[in-house]
Amino acid sequence: MFERFSRSWALIKASASVLQKDKELMVFPAVSSVAAILVAASFLAPLFLMLQGNPEAFEQKELSPIWYVWAFAFYMSQYFVIFFFNTALVGAASIRLEGGDPTVADGLRIAWSKIGTILGYAAIAATVGMILRAIEERAGWIGKWVAGLLGAAWTVATFMVVPVLVHKNIGPIDAVKESALLLKKTWGENLIGQGGVGLVFGLMQFGLWALVGFLVVAAVSTKSIGLVVTVVVTGIVCSLILALLQAALSGIYSAALYRYAEGHVNAPEFSGELLRNAFATRKR
């Protein structure tokens, strides 16, 4: 287990070195975040106006179908934006891992070439999201527990769907199946890699906001509103930067993990001992 953990962290550090060389990869999660906010606003604004005129809308049974259609469209739109720019990120990262020098345009070109498949995968993910939401709402605390487990399993099993879409001309259903199959080969690195990145950045976010809280208290003691606002805004900006770093690193990691699993030649960051010992055979 310790050996597998060490290999996974070596892969994470190698992914970070790729990001250091191609900082423009940060553009994709940044644009994705802005686009997701705009999409959310376009859905929430009409809903807000509707509720203003009819505040008891959610309690009216006859509006339930409308609510589910709205929710599905919202889920699908959000997933499409996320998957599109994640595909662009993974595509550009894959070019770097092949020894090339990718640009933002290269990533967007790759994502656009897969737009139909991305849309289909967004529909699948939205359907899964709706099912999990229904389980949560109709089965009480047990439903929330079950939905949480199923959601986690879905996240792990589909971790490499985007790299599969980037490298293969297959449909969204086949991409999900391929990702699940690759999980058997990369199960340790997949879980530890995702958990490792999440843990590191989670601790960094915690440390950041603990520091911000301390500085806010200190700023309040000076009775300077400007200083308090400056501290809070700086904390928000730093938190957003950390979130973008996490998203970029996760995308690069998934691209590297996929290339290892498929036996592709990789960039110098992933050569030598790391390449030879990337995967151990899973013991049954």
d(CA 263, CA 224): 59
Could you read off the pLDDT of 159-214 as tens digits, one per residue?
Answer: 889 999 999 999 999 999 888 887 776 655 555 555 666 777 888 889 999 999 99
Q: Among 95-104, 188-197, 206-215, 238-247, which stretch is predicted with the lowest mean pLDDT?
A: 188-197
Query: Any residues with CB less than 8 A from the CB of 184 and at least 6 apart, and which?
Result: 282
Q: At what angle do helices 27-53 and 104-113 cross, to 10 degrees?
A: 60
- Please, what is the end-to-end C-alpha distance for the chain in angstroms? 14
User: Is the Cβ–Cβ distance between 280 and 69 less than 8 Å?
Assistant: no
Residue 270 has pLDDT above 90, yes or no: no
What is the full DSSP assignment across the chain? Answer: -HHHHHHHHHHHHHHHHHHHH-GGGGHHHHHHHHHHHHHHHHHHHHHHHHHHH-TTGGG-GGGHHHHHHHHHHHHHHHHHHHHHHHHHHHHHHHHHHTT----HHHHHHHHHHTHHHHHHHHHHHHHHHHHHHHHHHHSHHHHHHHHHHHHHHHHHHTTTHHHHHHH----HHHHHHHHHHHHHHHHHHHHHHHHHHHHHHHHHHHHHHHHHHHHHHHHHHTT-HHHHHHHHHHHHHHHHHHHHHHHHHHHHHHHHHHHHHHT----GGG-THHHHTS-PPPP-
Residue 79 has what pLDDT? 93
Domain boundaries, the chain: 2-276
158 φ, ψ (degrees, to nearest 5): -105, 15
CA distance 184 to 23: 32
Asked if the model's pLDDT at residue 13 lies above 90, the reply is no
Q: Is the pLDDT of residue 55 over 60?
A: no
| Mean pLDDT for the chain overall | 80
Q: Determine the longest span between alpha carbons in the chain, in angstroms.
A: 65
Least confident of 26-30, 37-41, 139-143, 243-247: 139-143
Task: State the average pLDDT over residues 109-131.
Answer: 93
Give, as one character, the DSSP assignment of residue 139: S
Average the pLDDT over 125-143 and give the result.
81
- What does the block give as tokens for 129? 């999201």
pTM: 0.80
Return the pLDDT at 190.
54
Q: Is 25 exposed, middle or buried (0-12, 13-18, 19+ CB in 10 A)?
A: buried
- Which residues, other chains included, contact 15 with Cβ-Cβ below 8 Å and sequence gap of 6+? 249, 252, 253, 256, 269
